[in-house]
Amino acid sequence: MIPVGYFEYAWSLFFEKDKFKTKLLIDPELDQPILSRDEIGFVIILPEPTLHEEEETISFLGYQFPEGPKGKLQTVKLFKACVFHLNAHATISDSDVYSKWEKRKDNRLAKFSESLVEDDRVNAYIAARHPDKLRDIAFANSLAFTRSRPLRRLWNPATRVMTALLMQLNVGLTKGRVSTEEWRTIDRVTNSLVQLEATFSEPLASRRLNSDNARLGAADEIYNALECYGPILEVPALPHTEKLTHCSLFPGYRVQPDDGAGEIFSKSLAALGASTVDTQHRLEEKAVEAEAFQVYNSWSNEKAKEKKILGRYEELVLSTRFKSIAFPGEDYTEYLRARAETKSETRRLISSLMVGFDALDEDPRKLFGVLDLQEIIQVMASKNPRKDVFMRDENIGKSYAWITLLDTSRSMSPISSEVQNLSICLAETAKELLIDSSSWGIYAFNERFLILKDPTERYGPRTKARIGALKFEGPTYMPDALHLAGEILKKRSENLRLVTVLSDGWPYGYSKITNALLKTLKSLKKSGIVVIGIGIKTSRMENFFRVNCRVKDLMDMTKKFSSLFLEASRSAVGL
């Protein structure tokens, strides 16, 4: 089964799946992938296709695909090419090799030279270890060739030679002619890279990647060959590869059904070192097509669900000062890294609450009520004089509705890691304690209201990734967040309707906000909704919340929050 959404689909396509080391992000606003590094490893940011229902098209990487079966297949093939190319970089590339060499050089020309060498290594790696992926890359290359501006339209000599070189290496063709001198340069650089590829093709296959000197030598040769062509105005890069700088060589393009096929596709396959006749591929053609449709439909349904969820909140937001309501970004790797730090204390908190739940659920047999037939039979068979043979009440564990609110305003920035860790701890606890995922939700707020997990959503990779992508900015509209939480819980009929707020206790953003907070808390209490204020490294929450605690770390949270939660549970059932 194909995973839901392009994020999960991208992970399923990765050659090397190290979710702690390699960070994968999806950004619908991008028009080209981005490859960078953080303190741990590579960061890959992929664009996401956008559906235009009125025009019946799908836009991706500056292309416009028809919404029909062919367009869906082409979109998915192009997405796969992005994933394969960037994941190969994350697997074998090392930008530190060029750090000293780059000094005192034109940054744009140096980046282009490095890119040619590293992209050549990437193609060699895929050909050696994953040759079945080359067809998607050749498809993306041929689309880029069809879309690119012809060489005669490029007036800057450096841009013209760089573009011709890029196409010659990836497609085996140039879109137009160049001068004899320019062609000599292109031919010399191409031959140099072919020789370089021969030096590391076997190491790539065996993962012995000791080719640093050869890579530096090739990059230096490319740099010197191109330096004489004048100023570097832009750096060309194929649309499905990592963005280097501004590039105007690929204007918007409406894809035709037969694009990405034919002679250009065959030439690109040959340039990549793949066979143009692939019987196995033909046998799998239908399976690939079915995969494309399933990915597209899953993604489309996911977007429709998000739109429906947002629609339910639109009317509620009108009664607040929030500027907007939205789903935040997603960063699953940051979630995993933070969860690794919270795992042990989360288990302790869950265990502590489970023990308390067991005590609350110890409902003794009744001396009146509805007879329990099985209990009567056992008493009669054993000739026991017991009279408590009536049915027990319903287990209290099914009677909770719980919302967590996270303050992600600017003032929380110094303790952002603590907020993230505590929020994961509470989310994991809610998942374990409340088996029904519709009985709990988690949100963030500043001047916007952000949905991290709506009660209608399962607690899966996408909701977890939202917690990992928390950003801390803007003012603190705490009364408005509590008002929205109250409106959500008012529709619930559980025994305990609970709101937990993690904050530094500084509501801020508009006139008389403190009065508004006190008024909102009073209204929630009147409605029977319990609110627990959790002050992170501050005692200011006691100024507003009758039930509150100050926590300095996860261990402190386990000690203090569990007692407050269980006390609220006892009160909810009249114990």
pLDDT digit string, tens, across residues 2-39: 446 788 889 889 988 788 889 999 998 899 999 999 88
What is the arithmetic mean of pLDDT over 321-326?
Answer: 94
Question: Could you tell me the two tokens for 296?
Answer: 């597209």
More confident: 279 or 240: 240
Question: Could you tell me the two tokens for 134?
Answer: 């080359």
Question: Could you tell me the two tokens for 344?
Answer: 């042990």
Spatial CB neighbours of 139, under 8 Å, sequence gap ≥ 6: 74, 77, 78, 81, 260, 261, 265, 268
Question: What residues form DSSP beta bridges with 404?
Answer: 442, 500
Which pLDDT score is estimated for 280? Answer: 53
Lowest mean pLDDT among 75-84, 97-106, 165-174, 191-200: 191-200
Supply angle C-alpha 117, 224, 179, rounded to 5. 95
Which pLDDT score is estimated for 371? Answer: 58
Tens digits of residue pLDDT in 226-235: 999 989 999 9
Question: Could you tell me the two tokens for 308?
Answer: 């429906």
Residue with tokens 């450096």: 158
Contact indicator for 517, 546 with CB cutoff of 8 Å: no
Question: What residues form DSSP beta bridges with 402?
Answer: 440, 498
pLDDT at 486 over 90: yes
Burial of 348 (0-12, 13-18, 19+ CB in 10 A): middle
Torsion of CA 394, 397, 401, 403, to 10 degrees: 170
Which pLDDT score is estimated for 1? Answer: 42
Which pLDDT score is estimated for 290? Answer: 75
Query: What DSSP designation does 83 have?
Result: H
Phi, psi torsion values for 451, nearest 5 degrees: -90, 110
Q: Which of 82, 51, 83 is nearest to 64 (CA)?
A: 51
Which pLDDT score is estimated for 446? Answer: 96
Amino acid at site 390: F
Q: Which of 363, 365, 372, 346 is nearest to 398 (CA)?
A: 363
CA dist., res. 565 & res. 542, Å (int): 16
Give 19-70 as a DSSP string. Answer: TTTSEEEEETT-SS-EEEE-SSSEEEEEE--EEETTTTEEEETTEEEESSHH
Which pLDDT score is estimated for 303? Answer: 84
Which pLDDT score is estimated for 113? Answer: 94
Handedness of CA 319, 320, 324, 329 (dihedral sign): negative
Helix 262-271 to helix 134-147 angle (10° resolution) is 120
Residue with tokens 């990779």: 461
Pairing mode, strands 23-27 and 42-47: parallel
Contact indicator for 182, 157 with CB cutoff of 8 Å: yes
3-class SS at 422?
Answer: helix
Query: What DSSP designation does 439 have?
Result: G
Query: What DSSP designation does 476 have?
Result: B
Question: What residues form DSSP beta bridges with 253?
Answer: 63
**What is the end-to-end Cα distance of the chain in Å, rounded?**
48
Question: Could you tell me the two tokens for 17?
Answer: 């799946």
Contact indicator for 390, 370 with CB cutoff of 8 Å: yes
Which pLDDT score is estimated for 285? Answer: 64
Residue with tokens 């060499």: 101
Contact indicator for 530, 499 with CB cutoff of 8 Å: yes
CA dist., res. 505 & res. 283, Å (int): 63
Largest CA distance in the chain: 109
Question: CB atoms < 10 A from the CB of 247, how many?
Answer: 16
pLDDT at 438 over 80: yes
pLDDT at 324 over 60: yes
For the chain, counts of helices (H) and of strands (E): 17, 16
3-class SS at 350?
Answer: helix
pLDDT at 59 over 50: yes
Amino acid at site 348: R
Supply angle C-alpha 42, 46, 47, rounded to 5. 160
CATH dotted code for 332-364+394-572:
3.40.50.410
Phi, psi torsion values for 396, nearest 5 degrees: -70, -20
Helix 134-147 to helix 107-129 angle (10° resolution) is 140
pLDDT at 197 over 80: no
CA dist., res. 335 & res. 346, Å (int): 14
Residue 488: band (very low, low, confident or very high) from pLDDT cuts 50, 70, 90:
very high
Which pLDDT score is estimated for 441? Answer: 95
CA dist., res. 138 & res. 266, Å (int): 8
Q: Which helix (H) or strand (E) holds 535?
A: strand 530-536
Which pLDDT score is estimated for 367? Answer: 46
Tens digits of residue pLDDT in 252-270: 999 988 888 889 999 999 9
What is the arithmetic mean of pLDDT over 82-96?
Answer: 91
Which pLDDT score is estimated for 423? Answer: 94
Domain borders along the chain are: 5-295, 332-364+394-572
Question: CB atoms < 10 A from the CB of 261, how many?
Answer: 14
What is the arithmetic mean of pLDDT over 152-174?
Answer: 93
Which pLDDT score is estimated for 208? Answer: 44
